Structure 1
Amino acid sequence: MPIWTTAAAVLTLSVSLGLAWTSVPGRKLTGAAIGGEPDSPNPSTPFRIGTNLDGVAYWSSALPFVDLMKSSGDWFVQAPYRWNTEEKVALDESGWPITIPRGRDGASRNIGLVVLREAGGADTPHTRYVVGYDGSGRLKGMDSQGMRTLKGSKPRQLIVETDAEGWVQLMITQTDPHGRGDFLRNIRVIREDLFPEYERGSVFNPAFVERIAPFRTIRFMDWMVTNSLFRADGSRAKWSSGQGWNANAAGELGWSSRPLPGDARWTSGVPVEIMVQLLNTTKADGWFNMPVNATDDYVRNFAKYVREHLDPKLNIHVELSNEVWNWAFPQAHYAKYRAESEDGKDANWMEWYGKRSAQVGEIWNAVFREPARGQGPPGRVRIVYSTQFAYKGLEKLGLETPRWLDKNGQHRRGADFFDEYAVTGYYGAGLSDDKQVAAVLQWQRDPDGGFQRALLALRKSIEQNNAPLYEYHAKRAREYGLELVTYESGFGERTPPSQHQNEDYTNFLIALQRRPEIYNLELANAEAFRRAGGSLFMNFGIIGKPSKWGSWSALEHINQKDSPRYRALISLTTKYNQDQKTRH
């Protein structure tokens, strides 16, 4: 659950991940769990491995789509000697520029677009891309970036060849020259070697599908841009330093404002049609995060589409938003606003979250014609309730919902509508905290650069922090008859705020998660969760570039096929998921 936007968010991160580095009494893990292969699974306790997908952006190194236009950046206006004039670009309903603004200074203008940049090993130098488009006008690669622009083999097609940086950046220098509404649109940007895939109708990069295919469940939290709050018109609410998240102004998000396959880009949310297509391609269960302010109609129509188009052999996990307990995110502020609007100023936001999660669950169960948990045989839909890993007791109000009454004044308990109780499973030893900086800098003076002491600290964090917390939450889940799952897990360290300009500190943490010893730590963390009674272990990032903001992903770019972290996850999927696929 990386947070990129505010200083407050960064300070919240260590709490939200539950990465306490003080010793917590608990059962000691076996040597095999820390230093070797995991124990044999208990066949009576099904255990599965899944993964989240990294967010869609021009800097993403995952390159999930054949058409890179879908992950490109926002349009911006350029003038001579000015990269971005900050002038507004008028767009049609699908996000294509209607016209090029005329500057007040009388200077000529172009519209720029970053398609791929600063994406680590995904930026392949001297690579050719086929760019197709509809409409009238002129489109070319940005000359300032050393790109070559060549004529394509078909009308309204060109070839751009990247320079040594491997970046793809385009500019529109003319659009709709005759004023007939025939502006440039439906731009497609496809790597030349993948163009046959595009012509066959492929949406997904085959290499991306190959990397995620072993996982039993795919969570779409970042693909759905869940940690943003979208207004009723589909625009994104923004943080204000004076007001914070003005949640009460967001309104409710209706089905008509959802992302669509025909949108110019999917960076404000990947359409449900595309997510379902990926699940059908990989034969994985899906985990969808409903927007915190979605109307009942939005939830109902989303569920209907999934019911009608998802392979009936696949299951669905449904979660309201993501980490609604986390004040670094706007959904917590929205939940507080809704709780106080409905139940008064002393209402609790976590209780509202539990109630609304149950209501969302009721809608999904109704659409799939399945009973809530305990009221009949289990179906395909699993309703998820999540809480913070390190904050014992926070879970109670959302499970009990003491103020929630039906129309007859009878109490309704949120837990009666849930199937799964979810926490994070990050491991970390406080290396991300400013209080630990002096110790880490001292470690770096060791002959090995400090890695052995860091690895030992990570091992102890799994043994002394994660394992007992898994057991605590497993016990709470059993008390309510719920399955314990993680919604995110993995290596949880990132550069402390005070060291953001210290590249050596960042490089140390990046190198740490590349160490071969991390393989066994990944296994140990998952095994600690399984021994506590966990049933579904969800890795967080699968393909993403490491930085000072964190090394969240198991692979660093789409062209990387192996790493200690990825190898550990594949080992776990091989051991546990294959059996589940045969049972499914």
Structure 2
Amino acid sequence: MFYITARNIRRTFKSFVLVFIFITSIITTITSNTVLATDANTSAYPNTNSPLGINLNGVADWTTQWPFVDAFKVSRSWISQHKDSAWGQGGPLHLTPSGGIASLEPDQYADTVMFDDGVGHYPSGQYVLLYNGQATINFLFGSASVVSQTPGRMVLNVVPQASGIFMRILATDPNNPVRNIRLIMPGFEKTYKTQPFHPLFLQRLSKFKTIRFMDWMNTNNSNISKWSERPTLNSATFADKGVALETMINLANTLHANPW
């Protein structure tokens, strides 16, 4: 027979307190770890818990976005010119496989434009033009002035204007044609290879968890039917066939976002 005594009550109460303390300590530990994990995940990236996604505009010379620090990646497909012909009527251009100018006919030249957004929404300052091969290059309509020039490198002073930056290839050597043209925006010459995306572009996208690449891929009305026809990292511009798959993956990984 069990008798209720003061000693039994004290013993039972003491056991209850010990069990209570043990359970409380476990709950506190679990809760603390959960909070720490949640805080760590939340602070890791701005989009960790974001429910939002966004569609990117297609890459074009007239876009108001600055996706790449290499502005040439948004340049217009080459415009063929001839000194005795109307605008854009210079005849077929001979291109390299990556879209560079392989050769030019007598009195023929090739034009392209960047940031032709009608409002001059692009940074001012010193741009650096880099290229491989040999070429004679100038800039039209006061869109850029040459500060200094060495083989394969030109430093340009750019003041934004509504018609953008207009570049012309006047001549190139068929045995060493101009290729791998890059127009690096101010301040990024040393970092464009390791970080191709403009920091402002990354900052504006940082809170979106899903990035839709439909227009970057030129999905609608695409003429690409073979894997070999796809744009690559070596493509002269992404405004023609779309953006290279490797670049889209790089952006998604940089943002820690889901590619769609």
**TM-score by shorter chain over 0.5:** yes
Q: Residue deviations 1:378-416, cap 9 Å, x none?
A: xxxxxxxxxxxxxxxxxxxxxxxxxxxxxxxxxxxxxxx
Counting matched residue pairs gives 209
Q: 1:218 to 1:171 in 2, by over 3 A?
A: same
The Cα of 1:86 is off from its aligned counterpart by 4.7
Structure 1 runs not aligned, ≥5 long: 1-45, 103-107, 235-252, 288-584
The answer to whether the aligner puts 1:274 opposite 2:247 as a matched pair is yes
2:259 corresponding residue in structure 1: 286
On the 8 A contact 1:76/1:88 being kept in 2, the answer is no
C-alpha distance in 2 between matches for 1:185 and 1:89: 14
- Aligned residue type for 1:161: N
On the 8 A contact 2:122/2:160 being kept in 1, the answer is no
Q: 1:70 to 1:286 in 2, by over 3 A?
A: same
C-alpha distance in 2 between matches for 1:66 and 1:191: 5
Structure number with higher helix proportion: 1
Which residues of 2 match residues 331-410 of structure 1 at below 5 A?
A: none
1:242 corresponding residue in structure 2: none
Q: Residue deviations 1:274-304, cap 9 Å, x none?
A: 11111110000110xxxxxxxxxxxxxxxxx
- 1:65 aligned to 63, 68, 83, which one? 68
C-alpha distance in 1 between matches for 2:50 and 2:196: 31
The Cα of 1:119 is off from its aligned counterpart by 5.5
1:188 corresponding residue in structure 2: 182
The Cα of 1:197 is off from its aligned counterpart by 2.5
1:223 corresponding residue in structure 2: 216
Q: Residue deviations 1:78-130, cap 9 Å, x none?
A: 2348442252212121111111133xxxxx23211112212645234x53211
Structure number with higher strand proportion: 2
C-alpha distance in 1 between matches for 2:157 and 2:74: 19
The Cα of 1:271 is off from its aligned counterpart by 1.2
Which residues of 2 match residues 163-312 of structure 1 at below 5 A?
A: 163-165=159-161, 167-176=164-173, 179-180=174-175, 182-198=176-192, 201-230=194-223, 234=224, 253-267=225-239, 268-287=241-260
Q: Residue deviations 1:200-235, cap 9 Å, x none?
A: 5211111101110110100001100111231xxx3x
1:155 corresponding residue in structure 2: 151
On the 8 A contact 1:134/1:156 being kept in 2, the answer is yes
Q: 1:145 to 1:109 in 2, by over 3 A?
A: farther
The answer to whether the aligner puts 1:100 opposite 2:104 as a matched pair is yes
C-alpha distance in 2 between matches for 1:47 and 1:197: 29
The higher radius of gyration belongs to 2
C-alpha distance in 2 between matches for 1:123 and 1:271: 23
- Aligned residue type for 2:237: R
The Cα of 1:139 is off from its aligned counterpart by 1.5
Highest relative contact order (Cα 8 Å, sep 6+), 1 or 2? Answer: 2
Q: 1:283 to 1:149 in 2, by over 3 A?
A: same
Which residues of 2 match residues 52-91 of structure 1 at below 5 A?
A: 52-80=55-83, 82-91=86-95
Q: 1:122 to 1:283 in 2, by over 3 A?
A: same
C-alpha distance in 2 between matches for 1:94 and 1:225: 18
Which residues of 2 match residues 442-481 of structure 1 at below 5 A?
A: none
Q: Residue deviations 1:542-567, cap 9 Å, x none?
A: xxxxxxxxxxxxxxxxxxxxxxxxxx
Q: 1:215 to 1:119 in 2, by over 3 A?
A: farther
TM-score (norm 1): 0.34
Q: Secondary structure at the match of 1:194?
A: coil
On the 8 A contact 1:66/1:191 being kept in 2, the answer is yes
Q: 1:92 to 1:116 in 2, by over 3 A?
A: same
* Identical columns (%): 31
- Aligned residue type for 2:179: R
- Aligned residue type for 1:274: T
Q: Secondary structure at the match of 1:207?
A: helix
C-alpha distance in 2 between matches for 1:87 and 1:116: 25
Q: 1:119 to 1:186 in 2, by over 3 A?
A: farther
C-alpha distance in 2 between matches for 1:121 and 1:186: 26
Q: Residue deviations 1:298-328, cap 9 Å, x none?
A: xxxxxxxxxxxxxxxxxxxxxxxxxxxxxxx
Structure 2 runs not aligned, ≥5 long: 1-48
C-alpha distance in 2 between matches for 1:201 and 1:119: 31
- Aligned residue type for 2:148: K
TM-score (norm 2): 0.73
The Cα of 1:146 is off from its aligned counterpart by 5.0
On the 8 A contact 1:87/1:101 being kept in 2, the answer is no
Runs of 4 or more consecutive aligned structure 1 residues displaced over 3 Å after TM superposition: 79-83
